[in-house]
């Protein structure tokens, strides 16, 4: 019997009631017609008369177990029951079973396949193979790639996760893609308002910078923290979307808490008492070492628990808290210092040397170096708007790593050179053992922009301890090679009793004037040491700070040490080495300021180098 039910198709309560009346009459006249019984089940389901709908569905399946539409609707009933409660898994297991049966007889139904796989995920079943088959069966649906990527994320297979997420983004509609790109659930409320009011270009630049700063290791192509955010959004959508209200998971209060703070360590379910009505979920978190709880109340028992009051302090806390990571580290963190020195190579290119000092004692506490043959060294650099410009990656034998000892303890030292166009850069460097058990990662800013043009300019001031022997095979890995010298940087910029401060500087674009039969340059070189304005560590500059912050030293302050020299030469470029006795300095932080004045052109150029003066043994170094 083929019958259409136009009343229900109107989508109104009145239409559904008329449809119900007609169908009940039809069932009384044709009790054996399963199509009539099935249509009545659909009408009751649409009305919210679920017990009546379920009875009809089971009656249909008793007589015809192969009915896909009955399997689908029965699975949807149990699936929605689970969504309303979330506490009980019985409904979820039944939904999974019914959806699997429906997929077997209707393999082209992507919606049912998606709910089946989400149910399996929520039940904790092994669904990796199933997910692979669904990706192949529905190549245009991003949800299956997101699910497969999320399984890879949970297994710490981050490169696989990144590939699946990238493929999923390419398949998304613009609206959904914008949600995944948004920082609404990452920033606090006030910062989010400013972010949303900014131009698209500013938002893009800010977004790249935020994720790079949050990246546990920016030298790799995969950003685990950014993947964690996508993972949380997708899982929140799977678990907490609400069909009665039409809300996606990330639009609900529970979903927002999940995206901001991660999976709760515990969920307690109770029925409301006193002034709180409905069903209550209390989520417990530990964020930044602080224990806190959020209570969600399902006042209307519609499966959308929420923080019940707009002025609730809990809601205020959640909305104004930036997102925090619960990502377990894939390697133990080892303290390190990173320094950067920019030199000019020609009118358009420069070299930035990254020098890193790694806490050797901390590394040994984690890794048995007797079993380690080599370390991995990686460096990456990004332009001023945080776009990745390039990377280097290589290895260094343990025997070639220079180890130094200073007042702070022992440190491994490595140096890497970046050949770059003259511009500003965000820099990152990482050092880890061959087994990936321990990693030191650090960030810094560097600039070679001042080398563009024909005006007088100077390189960064390189503070170094000694010249590395030319016969040392490891010199290129631990020294900066300039003007025929191999200089081992004092990465931590610390000086102890009896130790002289050694500095190297290059000068570019000196003016030449005729002096007899030759053309010659003439300039004054002045160095001065001032007490530092702050006590922050000179070898660690927070990501995003500019060297320009040091501008203005020497204008009003009185130098502790100061000296000026006159230099003559026959080239546009020159270099200087300075050795200063600093025993007169008390313990503390200082700034070395080097100024060059070109006598021919009258131009000036200034460079700064912060350092620490400490009491203690003279630093010394040795090869491992």
Q: Which CATH code of 2.30.330.10, 2.60.40.150, 3.40.50.300, 1.20.140.10 fits the domain covering 332-623?
A: 2.60.40.150
> Each residue of 209-242: pLDDT tens digit?
889 989 999 999 999 999 999 999 999 999 999 8
* Residue 129, SS3 per DSSP: helix
Question: Which sequence spans correspond to the domains of the chain?
Answer: 6-225, 247-320, 332-623
Is it true that domain 6-225 has CATH number 1.10.1060.10? no
> Each residue of 489-507: pLDDT tens digit?
998 888 888 889 999 999 9
> Each residue of 511-565: pLDDT tens digit?
998 766 778 999 999 999 998 866 554 443 333 333 333 344 444 568 888 999 9
> Each residue of 448-504: pLDDT tens digit?
999 998 899 999 999 998 776 655 555 467 889 999 889 999 988 888 888 899 999
How many CB atoms are closer than 10 A to CB 191?
15
CA angle at 494 for the pair 597 and 405, rounded to the nearest 5°: 140
Q: What is the DSSP letter of 303?
A: S
Distance of alpha carbon 398 from alpha carbon 88, whole angstroms: 55
For residues 309 and 296, the answer to whether their CB atoms sit within 8 Å is no
If one compares 261 and 20, the residue with the highest pLDDT of the two is 261
> Each residue of 369-389: pLDDT tens digit?
999 999 999 999 999 889 999
Percent of the chain with pLDDT over 90: 54
Distance of alpha carbon 236 from alpha carbon 228, whole angstroms: 12
- Nearest CA to 283 out of 238, 242, 318 is that of 318
Q: Which residues pair with 295 in a beta bridge?
A: 282
> Each residue of 392-435: pLDDT tens digit?
999 999 988 888 876 678 899 999 999 999 999 999 999 999 99
Q: What is the DSSP letter of 242?
A: B
Q: Which residue has the tokens 């130094």?
A: 404
If one compares 13 and 299, the residue with the highest pLDDT of the two is 299
> Each residue of 156-190: pLDDT tens digit?
999 999 999 999 999 999 999 999 998 888 988 77
What is the model's pLDDT at position 465? 85
Helix (H), strand (E), coil (C) string for 240-275: HCECCCCECHHHCHHHHHHHHHCCCCEEEEEECCCC
Q: Which residues pair with 480 in a beta bridge?
A: 487
């Amino acid at each position: 019997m083929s019958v259409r039910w136009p009343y229900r198709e109107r989508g109104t309560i009145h239409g559904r009631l008329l449809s119900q009346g007609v169908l009940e009459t039809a069932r009384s006249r044709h009790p054996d017609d399963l199509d009539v019984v099935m249509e009545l089940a659909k009408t009751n389901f649409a009305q919210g008369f679920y017990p009546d709908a379920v009875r009809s569905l089971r009656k249909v399946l008793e007589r015809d177990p192969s009915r896909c539409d009955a399997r689908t609707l029965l699975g949807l009933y149990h699936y929605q029951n689970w969504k309303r409660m979330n506490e009980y898994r019985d409904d979820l297991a039944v939904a999974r079973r019914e959806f699997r049966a429906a997929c077997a007889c209707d393999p082209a139904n992507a919606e049912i396949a998606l709910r089946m796989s989400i149910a399996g995920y929520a039940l904790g079943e092994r669904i990796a193979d199933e997910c692979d088959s669904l990706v192949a069966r529905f190549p245009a649906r991003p949800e299956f790639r997101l699910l497969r990527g999320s399984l890879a994320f949970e297994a710490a297979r981050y490169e696989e996760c990144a590939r699946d997420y990238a493929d999923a983004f390419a398949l998304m509609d613009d609206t959904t893609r914008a949600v995944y790109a948004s920082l609404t659930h990452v920033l606090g409320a006030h910062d989010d308002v400013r972010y949303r009011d900014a131009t698209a270009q500013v938002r893009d630049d800010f977004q790249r910078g935020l994720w790079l700063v949050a990246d546990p290791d920016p030298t790799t192509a995969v950003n685990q923290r950014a993947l964690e955010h996508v993972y949380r959004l997708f899982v929140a959508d799977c678990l907490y979307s609400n069909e009665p209200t039409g809300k996606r998971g990330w639009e609900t209060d529970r979903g927002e808490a999940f995206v901001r703070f991660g999976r709760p360590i515990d969920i307690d379910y109770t029925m409301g008492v006193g002034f709180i009505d409905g069903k209550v979920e209390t989520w417990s978190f530990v964020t930044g070492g602080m224990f806190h709880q959020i209570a969600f109340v399902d006042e209307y028992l519609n499966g959308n628990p929420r923080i019940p009051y707009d002025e609730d302090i809990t809601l205020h806390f959640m909305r104004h808290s930036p997102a925090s990571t619960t990502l377990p580290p894939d390697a133990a963190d080892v303290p390190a210092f990173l320094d950067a020195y920019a030199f000019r190579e020609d009118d358009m290119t420069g070299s930035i040397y990254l020098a890193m000092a790694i806490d050797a004692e901390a590394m040994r506490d984690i890794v048995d170096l007797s079993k380690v043959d080599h370390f991995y060294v990686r460096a990456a650099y990004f332009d001023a708007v945080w776009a990745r410009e390039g990377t280097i990656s290589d290895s260094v034998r343990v025997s070639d790593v220079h180890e130094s000892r200073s007042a702070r303890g022992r440190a491994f030292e490595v140096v890497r050179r970046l050949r770059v166009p003259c511009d500003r850069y965000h820099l990152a460097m990482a050092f880890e053992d061959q087994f990936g058990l321990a990693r030191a990662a650090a960030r810094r800013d560097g600039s070679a922009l001042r080398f563009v043009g024909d005006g007088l300019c100077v390189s960064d001031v390189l503070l170094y301890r000694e010249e590395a022997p030319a016969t040392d095979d490891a010199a290129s890995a631990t020294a900066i090679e300039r003007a025929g010298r191999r200089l081992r940087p004092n990465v931590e910029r610390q000086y102890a009793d009896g130790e002289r401060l050694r500095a190297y500087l290059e000068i570019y674009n000196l003016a030449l004037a005729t002096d007899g039969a030759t053309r010659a340059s003439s300039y004054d070189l002045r160095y001065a040491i001032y007490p530092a304005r702050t006590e922050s560590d000179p070898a660690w500059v927070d990501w995003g700070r500019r060297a320009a912050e040091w501008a203005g030293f020497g204008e009003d302050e009185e130098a502790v040490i100061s000296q000026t020299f006159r230099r003559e030469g026959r080239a546009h470029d020159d270099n200087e080495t300075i050795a200063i006795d600093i025993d007169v300095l008390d313990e503390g932080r200082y700034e070395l300021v080097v100024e060059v004045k070109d006598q021919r052109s009258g131009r000036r150029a200034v460079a700064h180098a912060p350092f620490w003066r400490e009491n203690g043994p003279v630093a010394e170094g040795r090869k491992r």
